Chain A
Amino acid sequence: MRDAELVKVFNRRALIVAGGELFLFSILAGRLYQLQILESDKYKKLSERNSVRIKLITPPRGIIKDRFNVEMAINVNSYGIQMIPEEVTARGLSVEEILNRISQLIPLTDKEKEKVLNNIKKKRAFFPVFIKNNLGWEEMAKLQVKNLDFTGVYVEEGKRRFYPYNEVAAHVIGYVSDVSEQELKKDPDPVLQLPDFKTGKAGVEKLMDKQLRGSAGETMQIVNSVGRVIETLDDKRKKTTPGQNIVLTIDKRLQEYALNRIKEESASAIIMDIYNGDILMMISVPTYNPNIFLSEDKSAEEFNKLLNNPRHPFINKAIEGLYAPGSTFKMMTALAALHEGKIKTSTKINCTGHMDYGDGRYHCWKTSGHGLLDLEQSLQHSCDIFYYTIATKLPMDSIQEMAYKFGFGDYTGIELANEKKGQVPSVDWKRNYKSENWYTGDTITASIGQGYTLVTPIQLAVMTSRIANGGFAVKPRILKGEFENVFFPQMNIDANYLNIIKKGMFSVVNKPNGTGKTASFNYNGKQMAGKTGTTQVRRISREERLTGVIKQDDLPWKYRNHALFVGYAPYKNPRYAISVVVEHGKSGSGTAAPIARDLMMKTLELYS
């Protein structure tokens, strides 16, 4: 059934639709007229100037300074050579020829040349291509002199990290190196994408990386329609924020002195202000030169040598080294016993050279014995029997409690990466970690800082500071804070107890037969108090004890005793604490104490 009316409607409406389509076409045409005729000039200009490319500007990394604003980590100019192939060829020269000429002044390997040629092929002729990066000023100067021969070759100036004092504070300052894949994944900061960017990998450089880094600015480059950079508008889009400068508490002069004094050893030393916690000096040897991470070829050989060195140059022994504290721990045992009322300041104990307890016989380091000793004398002679005797009466947990108060068994909070906690055992600790019961024999061993106890040199310095400052819970700091003086809470330890310990420590160094007399000095009436420590790395067997203990000098290096010394000075009006740990240094009095004497004297000399 063909509905005539329907066809009529259809035809009429189809024409209306067609009219509508024509109308819409005319709108499109009108818009074309507007854009392509009326506004064409505007868009042509925009197209020519098109478009904006965004380029990141590397923020200058913060400077790291010592306490007297001596710059320890700085940014120096580094130079790179670029070539613009178009300009070379415009002079009728070949790119290869220019490369050969340059290599007469600055050695270029065949590989480097090949890379340059490849890059030139990839890019358009007006894009600059890097020939070599990270050149020193001298090499640059050579090129500058002969500049006339090198059309189309340009020098680009950049910045790179430099540590002017090389290894002097390597472990504190740390170093920077290339951004790792992991960092790229974890850290969204766009600045990491820059090809030459470096991030802190150790020490303050690592810990304070975010602050030192600053934030990247953005520059807009106007690129014309063939991709040539016409104009660079610096910081137009986003300002560059330079990295923060950081002032450290260390003193470059002390660092230098200490490095020279102990560089032959495998050791660490710390000098700390007992009141505000400033670390004036922190050294760990052997050390490394942080600049090796920044040279072009990374001096792989030197790096590998350091990496394979059995004395671990990359470890900061001052905070990462764990040692048995040995006799330096006797102060803790004594304080715990006093605190618990197990002894009085006047208590005397007879040392016969050995003590029998249970099935065991415990020896004093002096096999002939010290005779009758009081607390002060027990420290002076570092008598072991005195402490063994105390230990039989004293619960281990109260020793642990005292040790914790003085900062052992936990991070000191110093602003450096990789600090170790160490450990001070207790009854529960042994049950949990060794699944064994705690015996009084364990307490006896622990009372002289042997056995399970492990401490770091920084903890030793903190303990000494807290004794010397009269029981304030000072914490160490490596970043110089806003305030010179910082308040630390009092630990509430009886002043009489601390005084008798201090007296003992004075006798150690300054009495003629004190174990630490090798540390004694008198600098303008200023003297040091301290305590030696010698800790076994190997057990002395019963047979050995019977046949006579092998002389330390006859042992291979790695079996020799560790040598420790802690101290503070001046004895009257104390100000500085020191801790020295010499790995396998044979004995505290023989090796560590003289080092402490020299370092402390130097400190007093510089700060009086």
Chain B
Amino acid sequence: MLDYSVSMKKSSRMNIFSKFFVMNWKLVFLLLLLSSVGIMILYSAGKADCNEETNCLISYGSWSPWAISQMPKIVMGFMILFITALFDLKIWVKYAYWIYGIGVISLILVTFFGHVGMGAQRWLNLGFIRFQPSEFMKIALVLALAKYFAALSINEIRNNYYLLFPAFLVLLPVGLVLDQPDLGTAMMLLIVSGIIFFIAGVQWWKFAIIFGIVLLSFPIIWKYGLHDYQKDRIIIFLNPEKDIMGTGYHITQSKISLGSGGFWGKGYLEGTQSHLNFLPEKQTDFIFTMFAEEFGMFGCLMLFLLIMAILWQCYKVAFASRNNFGKLLSLGLGVNFFIYFFINTAMVMGLLPVVGVPSPLLSYGGTAMITIFLGFGLIECCYVHSDMLISSKSDYL
């Protein structure tokens, strides 16, 4: 055994001011950089004094309507990040199931009182903010699973009996989200949980069995489990040229935008596809496309590097953490962030069906951004408390 006490940060004896200074500022800086890129693209997507009535076809970039209202959300996001980070890690352990419970309850509430968007109930109107419980659930589920697995020994993890409870933890929100129906979020929840099961130490062959069952049951899911618009999206994903002016329009236009960007891009504010309004939803799901058109492959690779740098910081926190909870939580949340980015990017490139997943910290919108900052706040919390030992099982109860 190594002696960890040498480099201990003594987090248990630090007050919140010193905690603030020992935070992982590299990660904060990288997140600031990514958000700034987002603001930059939203500025380009903006249309000054243009509306349906004046019918002007071309926008030249504008603070309104998106960039200007995204900025306070980012500020709020960072505040949430700091506040989350400064809590004692044990508090998060203690309340992990409670938070999960809030997530589940709000998912149930959204089924009854939710606002319908694109054929799915997704929003809960809290008066001051439109809250998307399914976004919040992505964090809450990771938190609950991390708490659960952190308390188990390797033998317990390899015992099927101990997998029943976490399986229930996963399937409950997945079922509720599918009911909305929000296929993208359900997929994300399943993948993230799978990866947490994996890094926690569940054996390989169990994944193989589950994967096999899912593959075999796919025809049944297709027939009974999917809404028509979801089937449409999948069919069109496989065959985008079939319907150029209809549902396949998004993907076709998106590919034209990407492809015409070339290696160096058309230049900032020069993207014709987006500025001529050929590219739909350029400020939300298709923001990566807009970026790719203006900054080209070079810009995209730089953006990938930025994402990788952020992920690298998450891994560092996971490896450095002396408690299993911190390891599982920071790695799980990092993976969560990656999956966000991957699904969105693959989707606009035509590699995955359009399932309505925004690009993290780039897309315009509130809840997704707030929950991502909340996630990074938890990772920072793990970082600040990476020396903390949460050893006894009772700590996890």
Contact = CB atoms under 8 A, between A and B. Distances in A.
Choose among B259, B273, B349, B350 the residue with the greatest number of A CB atoms under 10 Å from its CB. B259
A227 B57 contact: yes
Nearest to B323: A2
A11 B297 contact: no
Contacts of B315: 14, 18
Q: B198, B200, B260, B278: which has the most chain A beta carbons within 10 Å?
A: B260
Given A6-B324, A28-B304, A227-B57, A35 B154 contact: no
Given A17-B335, A31-B351, A46-B256, A10 B201 contact: yes
Contact of A14 (B255, B259, B319, B338): B319
B276 interface: yes
Contact of B262 (A6, A13, A16, A37): A37
A6 B253 CA distance: 48
Interface string A4-33: 111101110110111001001101110111
A303 interface: no
B294 to A, nearest CB: 12
A47 interface: yes
Nearest to A28: B345
B273 A36 contact: no
A528 to B, nearest CB: 65
B292 A36 contact: yes
A39 B304 contact: no
B154 A227 contact: no
B124 to A, nearest CB: 32
A101 interface: no
B342 interface: yes
Interface string B334-373: 0100100010011001110000000000000000000000
- Among A1, A11, A35, the one with the most B-chain Cβ atoms within 10 Å of its Cβ is A35
B392 interface: yes
Contacts of B296: 36
A13 B292 CA distance: 33
B259 A50 contact: no
Contacts of A33: 297
A51 interface: yes
Contact of A123 (B56, B255, B256): B56
A3 interface: yes
A44 B296 CA distance: 12
The listed residue with most B CB atoms (<10 A of its CB), out of A29, A51, A223, is A51
16 contacts: A1-B153, A1-B391, A2-B389, A4-B1, A6-B201, A13-B201, A17-B331, A35-B255, A40-B263, A43-B257, A43-B260, A44-B260, A50-B272, A122-B55, A124-B57, A225-B272
User: Which 6 A-B pairs have CB atoms at the shortest separation, nearest pair first?
Assistant: A43-B259, A47-B260, A225-B272, A36-B297, A9-B201, A35-B259
Given A11-B319, A14-B319, A29-B301, 9 more contacts: A1-B391, A1-B393, A10-B200, A16-B198, A40-B259, A40-B260, A40-B261, A44-B260, A47-B257
Interface of A: 1-7, 9-11, 13-14, 16-18, 21, 24-25, 27-29, 31-33, 35-37, 39-40, 42-44, 46-48, 50-52, 122-124, 223, 225-227
